[in-house]
Structure 1
Amino acid sequence: MTNQVDETYLTLGRQILTNGVQKGDRTGTGTISTFGCQLRFDLQKEGFPIMTTKRVAFKLIASELLWFLKGDTNIRYLLQNNNHIWDEWGFKIWVESDEYTGPDMTDFGLRCQTDADFNRLYQEQMKIYQDNVLQDDAFAKKFGDLGNVYGKQWRKWQGADGQEYDQIQYIIDEIKRNPDSRRLLVSAWSASEMASQALPPCHYAFQFYVVDGKLSCMFNMRSVDYFLGLAFNITSYALLTYLIAHECGLAVGELVFTGADVHIYANHIEQVKEQLSRTPKKLPTLQLNKEKSSIFDFELADITLLGYEPHPTIKAPVAV
């Protein structure tokens, strides 16, 4: 059986390379961009949706999702779980502050790629930053917190009435109470809080749909890094759908991705071509701890991916 998860994803990559337009971006890296894309994945067929044409770090995806679900916005939890995918954003807050006294880290994301001497300095400063977040409570509070990012919006949305609203708990309660609701929607986009976010949400909203005892999810993204981001996001929202379905006593249905500016960074083109040259493999299966009834009680040990044997990792720099 053909692996439709990889095939669907790779088809989009070919379309961007063929039909995309060159476009500037906030990071200064440059992109090949296209606007308005949709992908669909049947969660009941084949296996769990994670790329097999390159290794995707599932434990990083799972720990980040659990971080969101905890309502946490401080990267200390991620570092404790050896997850470094948000380090650069916290590091940027530190090196741009008045308290930073080390070497100049201006444009560190781009300079690391072309200057080996600078990269060594950057790695030294990053290690100092990580150690301080892990060991110094005051430092972690000031420079480890990324502001009102996903976890805060999902679990502690600030209402106009001054009250906090737990959007995830609402979704779970409403699915159990009224599965035909068309209001099973979570938003992470708060115009009034953008200035307090290290990175405004890329995946800014998602909505659930229940029919025939199956839970489907559509997630929406304003900006999509095709090579590093999208593969990660597909697996993350698939896992979220499985977790919500688990608590609500439902089977999984379909996962739908809708993206606005979907782009390949200029320094990811060769990596994309390498992935496109590979043949998809068999998808793995997901196993959740059935003894846990609430998704808020899940830890990494409760989430297992079985039979994941992908092609090797393809490394690429993160645009910050």
Structure 2
Amino acid sequence: MLDHSRTPHPEHQYLDLLERAWREGAPRRDRTGVGTRALFGQTLRIDLSDGTVPLLTTKRVSWKTIVRELLWFLDGGTNIRPLLQDGVTIWTDWPLAKYRRETGEDISQKAFEARIVEDEAFAQRWGDLGPVYGAQWRHWPRYEPAGEADGETLYRRDPEGIDQITALVRDIRTHPSSRRLIFTGWNVAELGGMALPPCHTTYQYFVADGRLSGLLHQRSCDVGLGVPYNLVTASLLIRMLAQQCDLEPGEFVWFGGDTHVYENHGDLVAEQLSREPRPWPVLRFARRPESILDYRFDDFIIEGYDPHPSIAAPIAV
């Protein structure tokens, strides 16, 4: 059990959640066949006003991977090739599983990734994930009237769609008290075409006293592997939006729906709970880009990150 007599540290919220999910979670059969222990309706509240970011210190979390993935989302990306070109492999499992299933070729992950990087045609065929996060964030489908036939209105799909991110920045700047400062990736009509429906589904923002706070509703929460990434992604977005809208960061509120630990993550849980948190690092920006869409990897500077070593654990696909 965690020792709550220790000096409070914001990471204890996450460690408490990890422990409770493992000890108290209801046994669940899941689509992966691995099985989970799950809680429902969990909350974390994280103060970002001091410049820190919730990069866990009880195990190393690859903040560089998180930044590159977030920039890929904001670019509207849906193909893993740009990620692999930057050495990011966290999305490979799904297209690799599809390739093996449909071709019968027992190709290694390393060989598959090399083909994606080296062969653009192969990447177009096998590296696309469908209309996942980036497509919904930047190009939510919109249909416009395109004439009539046999008395019925015909519609055509606008190739650009609705740019939720650009609209969000505009609305925070012009209507900071709005209750509609929201974007989402949960497009019901397109879920079937996605390699993985969005786990972090809906983001909402709130402006008060010159500070921008953000809320994330996450429908499916892999506490051991995924949530450490999701907390940082959402926090980075708050910081970027605040910079773009001349605001200071406020609070990040995380809501977890199905909040679970996989049955094969017992070693991860035990090892992580045995470690003492260290101070969280600070994020600063190298510059202020022209827009929310113009950030580059080198714009993110993480200072003072001194975590315990990483903890290996299998991903369930």
TM-score (structure 2 length as normaliser): 0.91
Offset of 1:226 from its aligned partner? Answer: 0.5
The unaligned stretches of length 5 or more in structure 1 are 104-123
Moved over 6 A (4+): none
Instruction: Work out whether residues 51 and 284 of structure 2, in 8 Å CA contact, stay in contact via their aligned partners in 1.
Output: no
Instruction: Work out whether residues 84 and 113 of structure 2, in 8 Å CA contact, stay in contact via their aligned partners in 1.
Output: yes
CA deviations over 1:220-246 (Å, ceiling 9, x no partner): 111110000111100111011111111
Aligned residue for 1:319, secondary structure, equals: coil
Counterpart in 2 of 1:306?
Answer: 303
Q: 2:110 aligns with which of 109, 112, 127?
A: 127
Counterpart in 2 of 1:102?
Answer: 105
Counterpart in 1 of 2:96?
Answer: 91
Offset of 1:291 from its aligned partner? Answer: 4.1
CA deviations over 1:27-51 (Å, ceiling 9, x no partner): 0001111111111101114722110
1:248-267 maps to which residues of 2 (within 5 A)?
A: 248-267=245-264
Please say if 1:22 is aligned against 2:19.
no
Please say if 1:138 is aligned against 2:135.
no
Counterpart in 1 of 2:289?
Answer: 292
The unaligned stretches of length 5 or more in structure 2 are 1-5, 145-156
Counterpart in 2 of 1:277?
Answer: 274
Counterpart in 2 of 1:180?
Answer: 177
Change (3 A) 1:295 1:25: same
Offset of 1:3 from its aligned partner? Answer: 5.9
Please say if 1:67 is aligned against 2:109.
no
CA deviations over 1:229-277 (Å, ceiling 9, x no partner): 1111001110111111111111000101101110000011221121111
Counterpart in 2 of 1:39?
Answer: 44
Distance in 1 (alpha carbons) for counterparts of 2:7 and 2:60: 18
Counterpart in 2 of 1:77?
Answer: 82
Please say if 1:234 is aligned against 2:237.
no
Instruction: Work out whether residues 169 and 245 of structure 2, in 8 Å CA contact, stay in contact via their aligned partners in 1.
Output: yes
Counterpart in 1 of 2:154?
Answer: none
What is the Cα-based RMSD across aligned positions, in Å?
Answer: 1.5
CA deviations over 1:50-75 (Å, ceiling 9, x no partner): 10111000000000000000001011
Aligned residue for 2:57, secondary structure, equals: coil
Alignment: residue pair count: 298
TM-score (structure 1 length as normaliser): 0.90
Instruction: Work out whether residues 244 and 288 of structure 2, in 8 Å CA contact, stay in contact via their aligned partners in 1.
Output: no
Offset of 1:101 from its aligned partner? Answer: 4.7
Answer 1 or 2: which has greater helix percent: 1
